[in-house]
């Protein structure tokens, strides 16, 4: 049973992530009054890309990418999906926070090695954006951990079963709002789509990828989407006891993200940071203070 | 004669012999220096798990001078000798092109020997004597390169000297109050001392150790000093030397003042503990962002050193067994990865002919893959990526702080993101991107530099995957300082608020890596291409200009740089200027006109007589 | 038992023999001071065991005190006499090759007279005799300052002469007052009778004598001659002036204040004066760009520190002060001697002209470094034990005022460190003009190495001197035993 979970949960995550990618294109197309590609198009693309030859820029180019995807896969073992969380007893939220570094860092090393300034600009923006949303995000996470007095994500989920969704329990309301405000940035959708910006810096970090590399990069993107949404659902919307409900909750969050993506134009990176460090951070800070005051 | 006496005798005797041998033959000297530092590592390793005290000298006015060994001094001594040995090996090639190498080696070994003296000192007098020897020998080494190093050395020695004078005041106050300087005996006296006296002791020692440990606001000397010192010594400086401040803090807070007293010292809000914690947090936050502004690779690492000292400070000052273990472990981690980073940057500096400017490097991964790997591992440790030693130590610190003071935890966690940013800037601007034309002929890292890098990289990963190895020794320290014992296994730690199991994490990541690698293998073959075979929207790749390194994080820096002025550095420089002005004014008393001089004599007498007649104080 | 009178008689006699010896053999002249001071040194060492048991009192001409003139050879006097002969010996070895041009015969003669005067001051037990020896010391140093015969030398010599003469005049008036009051000039006798007289009547003679001696001992604000004189004298003479002359002055002040008057109300005033001298000296040195002036001001600072230590008048602080005094003689001597040859090589006294000296004259630079480190008080050199004793003695008094003064002492140490470290950096780490390496002559190097060994030995094993200094300090502080041993 346990072994199956170990293999099953990363695969499920990949599947859902890729599905979301396809769905995103479809929904966006419909919003824009187009027909759009089939939902399974990303999966087809990945399989096609794997069969194409491509250029490799060096060892770090390969290793960085592998590292990035592997790191993201490991996170899925820690995140409860419904009740499936095979590695939740090896470390809690802190480990997840740090594992979340591996993905961007691996990508950064890999695309840095590709020696294209577009990639470097993209990475620079990616890291700055992360810096921008980590400030409120960390405040939110700390408020949660303080409020539930645990660092284990499974415990946070199970405690929400008694108290209701964190987002709607008293001291965590502010944190919930702040999290909602930064969610688009964490998912990398517009108005925060500064990293890949195809029209501006030729897809940024992805500029030199082709063939199997692009396939891996797409998978990494899909996983990042999955992790971002899953984390939000687990922390704020009470997770779920069974995988189906959990998936439905994820779908709701995903649609919220897509709508935002469809409506807003892209911000510049400095505007993005300014936004993230202003209201979301202030609200998250107030939330943390609130938790500290009411908790003690 | 005990092991400790032999150790110091070998260490200090070796310093002299190294210099003398250097006059005869440089290869003989190099061999001797390496052998000597290896011997020191072995001697200290043999002392593992010993405790003891011995009076080794009474020549100083009969005050007994004591050496003592326990787990705290052992772990510090081991680190000192280990890094010292590696830096000597690293110097073999690095120093080949420089002059006055005998002086360099002798001073490097002297710094190491005096640091061993510090950690083995069993009384404050011995500690102070070795402390001062360390200070002045460090000063000589920092100034070694001349040019900008002169100002750096000056700043270092003045601040350090002011710190040691504060420490001297503290030591002598203790001596006059209790009549002894033996650390084991002071503790008994301190427990009955008034709290004002305790606070005085904490303040003066805090200044002395704070300067050495570069805790905000005493950090001003460090960036320049680290940047301008010769790279093998920067590794020692950043890795070990400033950690003498950590040693001093532990000694003062938990041995001299005592755990119980320390936790309750001072008022409710302005307690010593909370002030230290806040200083630690500021030390993390500000220098992390200042590091982002730096364009000099070694300066960037130097600011990062200050920031990491803040993490150690948080761990040590918080005062629970978990945080203490975290603080000491982070000291160990920082020693390893920061020395590694200074060495890799030093290797780059060595091979490129002294370039440290991050804006004019790039693409060196093709030329120096070894240094790149070292830097990558070091940077991962610095950030605290899981499976590196930095992760475990930071995890312990966060874990202990998280429920008690979420705000401090927030600062520490947020500092990690700053760390990611400047670490990536470092590795990207040196190794990634396009190789500039002028660096086409750079050679690979020489062997003597590879060896320390391999050992240190290995240690980063070893302690990251099996943190139980260092934590076992650290647990002994924690217990000996009066804390509860920790529940430690070879691969992790179990605490009441959650556990860490690195071996599971290791297995999972390894499995993930293999899976993804296989997946990549399944795909079509890839063709290696040249570095400048790039996408340039159809245009030809512009040679030597197709790079993005200058102003890497400009959008952010434009926002934050107005807030990052180093007010304390300015303040210290102001004081220095003021002293200059004042001295120049006072100098004018001596006008050079003999009439004035005679007048001074007459005035002196008349003043005395006037005072006597008017108030007759006598 | 050897007679301590020889300590004064031999150099005095030989000093006047110098012209005769010179006419007999030119080469021999230079060795006369070496021989005389070596003799003195051996004599001092042989006297140590006896003196430690009981001070030796010699009645000159067979008259017993208070009628005759007596010599008092206590531990303190012997310490100074030994120090004078040791420093004198080292400097005379240095001078063998350093003094080549100019009136060599007169140099050696005056040099020996200077040291004779100094030895006389520290050994005599009679106020007027003290004045006479003091004049010998001063007049020979006036002449020696002008040894080079250049404009600066003569100018500062004249300045020194004027101020010194004013000082001597004041001293003489003070002695006159004392004679008028007590009808005796024997120090022990006066000390015994001092309680019989109203304190206020003693004030004027005391302040006159302190001011008069204070000029020579460089106490602020009476020390204005010192920077000029020290910087324009030949370096060997600067070493003696700084290491011996002003300290002998300080001895005289201490002897008169502690032993003759022995009124403790005024000690705190001297402590303040010491701190003031210390701070002003160090700050002036900080502002200097001329190496010899810097060293001269640093001497003022050190004198201030020693005065502070002596004025606290406990056994600990006086021992510390004397330790610091010994250290100052050695290290300041070493600094002046090494600076002398560096200046000789570079031809300028500006600190910037010493850039890169570490490569050109490694041993001389090393000597300078050791001297500087020792003076600043860094272990393992001799300055550290001295500073340790002074500070611990001062803190042991446990008075708030004194604690604050100790803080100022530590602060001034930082200032002192700053300007010395600056010079050391210039020596080793700044690029010089790329001249070839050329060491100082063997005699100079011998002298410097001897001083370095002494400094390191004292720093590593301070206990060696501690017992002797401790009895010297009780010699200074214990007025009654002084009186008792003279007036048996």
Q: What is the DSSP string of A95-162?
A: HHHHHHHHHHHHHHHHHHHTT-HHHHHHHHHHHHHHHHHHHHHHHHHHHHHHHHT---HHHHHHHHHH
pLDDT value, residue B503 = 84
Q: Radius of gyration of chain B from Cα atoms? A: 26
- pTM, full prediction: 0.92
Chain B CB within 8 Å of residue A269 CB: yes
User: Which chain B residues are Cβ-neighbours of C457 within 8 angstroms?
Assistant: none
Give C174's strand partners: none
* Helix, strand, or coil (residue C85): helix
A243 half-sphere exposure, CB direction, 13 A CA radius: 10
Q: Which is nearest to A137 in space by CA: A171, A175, A105, A172?
A: A175
pLDDT value, residue B498 = 65
Are A98 and B384 an interchain contact pair (Cβ–Cβ within 8 Å)? yes
- Return the H-helix or E-strand segment holding B498: strand B498-501
- Do B125 and B63 meet the contact criterion of CB atoms below 8 Å apart? yes
Give B357's strand partners: B296
- Residues of A (139-158) whose Cβ lies below 8 Å from B: 139, 142-143, 145-146, 149-152
**Per the structure block, which two tokens stand in for C236?**
């060997």
Residues of chain A with pLDDT under 50: none
User: Which chain B residues are Cβ-neighbours of A148 within 8 angstroms?
Assistant: none
- Return the H-helix or E-strand segment holding B57: strand B52-57
* Helix, strand, or coil (residue B194): coil
Task: For A184-213, write each residue's pLDDT tens digit.
Answer: 888 888 788 777 766 667 677 777 788 888
**Per the structure block, which two tokens stand in for B106?**
């002798």
- Do C487 and C66 meet the contact criterion of CB atoms below 8 Å apart? yes
> Distance of CA B589 to CAs B303, C10, C154, C212, Å?
43, 42, 22, 20
Chain C CB within 8 Å of residue B414 CB: no
- CA atoms of B460 and A130, how far apart (whole Å): 26
Are B168 and C410 an interchain contact pair (Cβ–Cβ within 8 Å)? yes
Chain B CB within 8 Å of residue C385 CB: yes
Q: For Cα atoms C375, B215, B413, give the angle at the middle one, nearest 5 degrees.
A: 165
Chain A CB within 8 Å of residue B541 CB: no
- Return the H-helix or E-strand segment holding A293: helix A279-295
Q: Which is nearest to C308 in space by CA: C252, C257, C270, C253?
A: C270
Contacts of B602 (CB under 8 A, 6+ apart): none
Contacts of A220 (CB under 8 A, 6+ apart): A65, A68, A69, A72, A103, A107
Are B537 and A123 an interchain contact pair (Cβ–Cβ within 8 Å)? no
Across C27-110, the runs of DSSP E, i.e. the strands, are 56-59, 70-73
What is the band of B261 on the pLDDT scale with cuts at 50, 70, 90? confident
Res C473 pLDDT > 80: yes
With 0-12 / 13-18 / 19 or more C-beta atoms within 10 angstroms meaning exposed / middle / buried, residue B128 is buried
- CA atoms of B529 and C304, how far apart (whole Å): 76
- Return the H-helix or E-strand segment holding B494: strand B492-495
Chain C CB within 8 Å of residue B536 CB: no
Mean pLDDT value of segment B107-118: 93
Q: Which is nearest to C206 in space by CA: C280, C269, C138?
A: C269
Count of Cβ atoms closer than 10 Å to residue A228 Cβ:
22
pLDDT value, residue B547 = 78
Mean pLDDT value of segment C272-300: 92
Mean pLDDT value of segment C125-146: 91
Are A98 and B546 an interchain contact pair (Cβ–Cβ within 8 Å)? no
pLDDT value, residue C299 = 93
Q: Which is nearest to B314 in space by CA: B220, B242, B240, B415?
A: B415
Query: Looking at the partner chain, which of B153, B586, B601 has a beta carbon nearest the beta carbon of C425?
Result: B153
- Specify the higher pLDDT residue, C101 or C160: C160
Res C199 pLDDT > 90: no
Are A70 and B516 an interchain contact pair (Cβ–Cβ within 8 Å)? yes
Supply the range of the domain harboring residue A118.
Answer: 2-295
- CA atoms of A70 and A86, how far apart (whole Å): 16
Average pLDDT, chain C: 88
**Per the structure block, which two tokens stand in for A174?**
């502010």
Are B410 and A288 an interchain contact pair (Cβ–Cβ within 8 Å)? yes
C203 half-sphere exposure, CB direction, 13 A CA radius: 18
Which residue's structure tokens are 């530092």? B37
pLDDT value, residue B1 = 59
User: Which chain C residues are Cβ-neighbours of B58 within 8 angstroms?
Assistant: 463
Judge A/B contact: 3 or more CB pairs < 8 A.
yes
Residue of C nearest to B610 (CA): C204
Query: Looking at the partner chain, which of C158, C166, C461 has a beta carbon nearest the beta carbon of B598?
Result: C166
Handedness of CA C343, C347, C351, C354 (dihedral sign): negative
User: Which chain C residues are Cβ-neighbours of B136 within 8 angstroms?
Assistant: 373, 378
Nearest Cα of chain B lies from the Cα of A113 at a distance, in angstroms, of 5
- DSSP 8-state code for residue C126: B
- Residues of A (123-142) whose Cβ lies below 8 Å from B: 123-124, 127-128, 130-131, 134-135, 138-139, 142
Which residue's structure tokens are 């650390």? B183
Residue of A nearest to B409 (CA): A142
> Distance of CA B37 to CAs B44, B552, B617, C211, Å?
11, 41, 65, 59
- CA atoms of C126 and B131, how far apart (whole Å): 48
Are A115 and B531 an interchain contact pair (Cβ–Cβ within 8 Å)? yes
Which residue's structure tokens are 């406990």? C314
**Per the structure block, which two tokens stand in for C241?**
């002036």
- CA atoms of A54 and B585, how far apart (whole Å): 75
Res C449 pLDDT > 90: yes
Res B372 pLDDT > 80: yes
**Per the structure block, which two tokens stand in for A241?**
């006891």
**Element counts in chain A: helices (H) and strands (E):** 12, 1
- Return the H-helix or E-strand segment holding B500: strand B498-501
pLDDT value, residue C434 = 67
- CA atoms of C4 and C55, how far apart (whole Å): 11
User: Which chain A residues are Cβ-neighbours of B558 within 8 angstroms?
Assistant: 270
Nearest Cα of chain B lies from the Cα of C369 at a distance, in angstroms, of 11
- Do C348 and C469 meet the contact criterion of CB atoms below 8 Å apart? no
Total residue count of chain B as it appears in this document: 618
pLDDT value, residue C172 = 94
Task: For B381-406, write each residue's pLDDT tens digit.
Answer: 999 988 899 998 998 898 888 888 88
DSSP strand pairing (C56-59 vs B52-57): unpaired
Are C425 and B133 an interchain contact pair (Cβ–Cβ within 8 Å)? no
Contacts of B416 (CB under 8 A, 6+ apart): A98, A101, B383, B384, B394
**Per the structure block, which two tokens stand in for C457?**
């030995």
Q: Which of A44-58, B375-389, B423-437, B488-502 has the highest mean pLDDT?
A: B375-389
Residue of C nearest to B584 (CA): C287
Nearest Cα of chain C lies from the Cα of B380 at a distance, in angstroms, of 37
Torsion of CA C244, C250, C256, C262, to 10 degrees: -130
Query: Looking at the partner chain, which of A90, A146, A152 has a beta carbon nearest the beta carbon of B501?
Result: A90
Task: For B130-177, write each residue's pLDDT tens digit.
Answer: 999 999 999 999 998 888 899 999 999 999 999 999 999 999 999 988
- Residues of A (184-213) whose Cβ lies below 8 Å from B: 202, 207-208, 211-213
Are C288 and B587 an interchain contact pair (Cβ–Cβ within 8 Å)? yes
- Do B198 and B263 meet the contact criterion of CB atoms below 8 Å apart? no
User: Which chain A residues are Cβ-neighbours of B406 within 8 angstroms?
Assistant: 142-143, 145-146, 288, 291-292
Per-domain boundaries in chain B: 568-615
Res C6 pLDDT > 80: yes
Chain B CB within 8 Å of residue A83 CB: no
- CA atoms of A128 and B554, how far apart (whole Å): 10
Chain C CB within 8 Å of residue B19 CB: no
CB pairs under 8 A between B and C: 165
Count of Cβ atoms closer than 10 Å to residue B481 Cβ:
20
Query: Looking at the partner chain, which of B166, B600, B618 has a beta carbon nearest the beta carbon of C199?
Result: B618
- Return the H-helix or E-strand segment holding B68: strand B65-69
Total residue count of chain A as it appears in this document: 296
- What b/e readout covers A87-124, taking b as 16+ CB neighbours within 10 angstroms? bbebbbbbbbbbbbbbbbbbbbbbbbbbbbbbbbbbbb
Res B413 pLDDT > 80: yes
- Do C15 and C116 meet the contact criterion of CB atoms below 8 Å apart? yes
> Distance of CA B22 to CAs A292, B14, B35, B97, C319, Å?
63, 12, 14, 15, 41
Are C163 and B601 an interchain contact pair (Cβ–Cβ within 8 Å)? yes
- Do C131 and C175 meet the contact criterion of CB atoms below 8 Å apart? yes
DSSP strand pairing (B65-69 vs B487-489): unpaired
- CA atoms of B585 and A121, how far apart (whole Å): 55
Chain C CB within 8 Å of residue B60 CB: yes
Res C206 pLDDT > 60: yes
Are B604 and C228 an interchain contact pair (Cβ–Cβ within 8 Å)? no
Total domain count, chain A: 1
User: Which chain A residues are Cβ-neighbours of B386 within 8 angstroms?
Assistant: 95, 98-99, 102
Task: For C295-322, write each residue's pLDDT tens digit.
Answer: 999 999 999 999 999 998 888 899 999 9
Nearest Cα of chain C lies from the Cα of B402 at a distance, in angstroms, of 41
């Amino acid at each position: 049973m346990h072994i199956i979970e170990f293999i099953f949960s990363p695969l499920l995550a990949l599947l859902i992530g890729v599905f979301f990618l396809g769905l995103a294109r479809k929904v966006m197309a419909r919003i824009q009054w187009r027909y759009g590609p089939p939902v399974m198009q990303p999966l087809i693309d990945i399989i096609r890309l794997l069969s194409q030859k491509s250029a490799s820029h060096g060892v770090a180019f390969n290793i960085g990418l592998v590292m990035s995807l592997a790191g993201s896969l490991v996170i899925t073992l820690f995140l409860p999906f419904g009740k499936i969380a095979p590695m939740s007893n090896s470390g809690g939220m802190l480990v997840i926070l740090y594992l979340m570094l591996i993905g961007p860092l691996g990508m950064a090393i890999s695309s840095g090695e590709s020696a294209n300034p577009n990639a470097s600009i993209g990475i620079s923006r990616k890291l700055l954006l992360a810096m921008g949303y980590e400030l409120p995000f960390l405040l939110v996470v700390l408020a949660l951990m303080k409020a539930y007095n645990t660092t284990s994500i499974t415990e946070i989920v199970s405690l929400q079963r008694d108290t209701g969704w964190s987002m709607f329990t008293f001291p965590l309301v502010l944190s919930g709002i702040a999290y909602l405000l930064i969610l688009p940035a964490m998912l990398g959708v517009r108005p925060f789509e500064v990293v890949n910006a195809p029209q501006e810096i030729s897809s940024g970090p992805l500029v030199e990828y082709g063939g199997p590399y692009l396939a891996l990069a797409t998978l990494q993107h899909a996983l990042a989407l999955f992790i971002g949404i899953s984390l939000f659902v687990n922390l704020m919307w009470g997770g779920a006891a069974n995988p189906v409900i959990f998936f439905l909750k994820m779908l709701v969050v995903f649609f919220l993200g897509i709508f935002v993506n469809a409506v807003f134009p892209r911000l510049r990176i400095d505007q993005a940071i300014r936004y993230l460090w202003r209201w979301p951070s202030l609200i998250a800070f107030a939330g943390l203070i609130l938790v500290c005051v009411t908790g003690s | 004669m005990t092991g400790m006496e032999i150790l110091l005798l070998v260490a200090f005797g070796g310093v002299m012999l190294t210099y003398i041998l250097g006059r005869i033959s440089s290869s003989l000297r190099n061999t001797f220096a390496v052998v000597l530092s290896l011997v020191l590592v072995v001697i200290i390793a043999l002392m593992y798990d010993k405790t003891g005290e011995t009076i080794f000298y009474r020549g100083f006015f009969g005050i007994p001078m004591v050496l003592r060994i326990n787990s705290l001094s052992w772990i510090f001594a081991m680190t000192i000798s280990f890094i010292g040995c590696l830096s000597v090996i690293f110097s073999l090639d690095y120093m080949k092109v420089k002059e006055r190498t005998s002086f360099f080696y002798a001073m490097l070994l002297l710094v190491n020997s005096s640091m061993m003296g510090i950690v083995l000192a069993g009384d404050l007098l011995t500690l102070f004597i070795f402390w001062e020897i360390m200070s002045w020998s460090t000063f000589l080494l920092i100034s070694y390169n001349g040019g900008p190093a002169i100002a750096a050395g000056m700043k270092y020695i003045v601040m350090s000297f002011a710190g040691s004078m504060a420490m001297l005041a503290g030591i002598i106050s203790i001596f006059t109050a209790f009549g002894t300087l033996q650390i084991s005996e002071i503790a008994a006296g301190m427990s009955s001392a008034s709290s004002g006296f305790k606070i005085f002791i904490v303040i003066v020692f805090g200044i002395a150790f704070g300067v050495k440990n570069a805790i905000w606001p005493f950090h001003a000397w460090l960036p320049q000093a680290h940047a301008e010192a010769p790279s093998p010594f920067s590794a020692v400086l950043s890795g070990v030397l400033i950690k003498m401040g950590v040693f001093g803090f532990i000694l003062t807070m938990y041995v001299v003042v005592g755990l119980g007293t320390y936790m309750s010292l001072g008022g409710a809000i302005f307690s010593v503990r909370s002030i230290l914690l806040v200083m630690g947090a500021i030390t993390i936050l500000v220098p992390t962002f200042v590091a982002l502004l730096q364009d000099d690779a070694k300066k960037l690492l130097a600011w990062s050193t200050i920031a990491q000292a803040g993490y150690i400070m948080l761990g040590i000052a918080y005062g629970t067994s978990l945080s203490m273990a975290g603080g000491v472990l982070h000291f160990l981690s920082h020693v390893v990865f920061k020395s590694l980073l200074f060495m890799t940057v030093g290797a780059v500096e060595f091979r490129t002919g002294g370039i440290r400017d991050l804006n004019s490097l790039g693409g060196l991964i093709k030329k120096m893959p070894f240094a790149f790997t070292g830097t990558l591992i070091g940077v991962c440790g610095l950030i605290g990526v899981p499976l590196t030693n930095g992760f475990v130590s930071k995890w312990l610190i966060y874990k202990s702080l998280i429920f008690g003071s979420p705000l401090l935890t927030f600062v520490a966690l947020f500092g990690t993101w700053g760390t990611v940013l400047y670490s990536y800037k470092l590795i990207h601007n040196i190794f990634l991107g396009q190789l500039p034309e002028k660096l086409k002929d750079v050679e690979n890292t020489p062997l003597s530099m590879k060896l320390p890098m391999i050992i240190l990289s290995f240690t980063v990963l070893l302690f990251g995957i099996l943190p139980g190895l260092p934590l076992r020794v650290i647990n002994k320290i924690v217990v000996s300082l009066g804390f509860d014992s920790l529940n430690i296994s070879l691969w992790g730690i179990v605490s009441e608020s959650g556990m860490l199991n690195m071996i599971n994490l290791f297995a999972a990541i390894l499995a993930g890596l293999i899976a993804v690698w296989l997946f990549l293998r399944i795909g079509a073959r890839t063709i290696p291409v040249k570095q400048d075979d790039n996408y340039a929207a159809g245009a030809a790749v512009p040679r030597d200009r197709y790079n993005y390194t200058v102003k890497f994080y400009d959008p952010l820096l434009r926002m934050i740089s107005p807030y990052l002025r180093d007010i304390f550095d300015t303040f210290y420089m102001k004081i220095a200027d003021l002293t200059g002005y004042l001295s120049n004014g006072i100098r004018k008393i001596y006008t050079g006109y003999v009439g004035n001089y005679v007048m001074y004599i007459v005035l002196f007498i008349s003043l005395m007589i006037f005072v006597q007649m008017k108030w007759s104080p006598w | 038992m050897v007679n301590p009178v020889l300590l004064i008689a031999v150099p005095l006699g030989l000093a006047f023999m110098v012209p005769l010896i010179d006419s007999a053999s030119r080469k021999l002249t230079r060795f006369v001071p070496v021989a005389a001071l070596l003799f003195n040194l051996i004599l001092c060492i042989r006297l140590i065991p006896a003196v430690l048991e009981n001070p030796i009192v010699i009645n000159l001409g067979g008259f017993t005190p208070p009628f005759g003139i007596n010599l008092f050879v206590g531990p303190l006097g012997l310490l100074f006499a030994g120090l004078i002969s040791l420093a004198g010996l080292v400097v005379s070895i240095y001078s063998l090759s350093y003094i080549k041009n100019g009136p060599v015969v007169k140099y050696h003669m005056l040099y020996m007279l200077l040291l004779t005067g100094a030895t006389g001051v520290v050994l005599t037990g009679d106020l007027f005799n003290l004045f006479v020896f003091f004049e010998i010391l001063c007049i020979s140093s006036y002449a020696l300052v002008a040894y080079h015969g250049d404009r600066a030398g003569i100018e500062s010599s004249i300045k020194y002469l004027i101020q010194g003469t004013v000082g001597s005049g004041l001293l003489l008036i003070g002695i006159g007052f004392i004679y008028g009051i007590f009808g005796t000039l024997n120090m022990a006798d006066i000390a015994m009778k001092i309680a019989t007289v109203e304190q206020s009547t003693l004030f004027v003679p005391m302040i006159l004598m302190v001011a008069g001696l204070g000029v020579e001992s460089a106490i602020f604000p009476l020390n204005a001659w010192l920077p000029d004189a020290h910087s324009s004298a030949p370096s060997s003479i600067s070493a003696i002036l700084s290491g011996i002359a002003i300290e002998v002055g300080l001895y005289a002040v201490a002897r008169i204040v502690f032993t003759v008057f022995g009124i403790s109300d005024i000690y705190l005033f001297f402590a303040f004066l010491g701190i003031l001298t210390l701070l002003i000296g160090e700050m002036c040195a900080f502002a200097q760009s001329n190496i010899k002036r810097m060293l001269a001001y640093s001497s003022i600072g050190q004198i201030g520190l020693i005065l502070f230590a002596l004025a606290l008048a406990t056994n600990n602080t006086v021992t510390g002060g004397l330790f610091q005094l010994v250290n100052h003689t050695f290290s300041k001597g070493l600094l002046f001697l090494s600076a002398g040859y560096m200046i000789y090589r570079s031809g300028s006294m500006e600190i910037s002209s010493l850039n890169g000296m570490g490569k050109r004259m490694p041993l001389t630079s090393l000597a300078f470094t050791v001297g500087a480190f020792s003076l600043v008080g860094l272990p393992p050199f001799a300055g550290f034990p001295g500073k340790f004793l002074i500070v611990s003695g001062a803190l042991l008094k446990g008075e708030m005022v004194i604690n604050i003064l100790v803080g100022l002492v530590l602060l001034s140490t930082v200032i002192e460190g700053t300007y010395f470290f600056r010079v050391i950096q210039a020596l080793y780490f700044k690029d010089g003009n790329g001249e070839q390496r050329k060491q100082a002559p063997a005699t100079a190097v011998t002298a410097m190495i001897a001083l370095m060994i002494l400094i390191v030995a004292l720093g590593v094993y301070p206990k060696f001197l501690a017992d002797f200094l401790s009895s010297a300090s009780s010699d200074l502080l214990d007025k009654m035993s002084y009186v008792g041993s003279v007036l048996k």
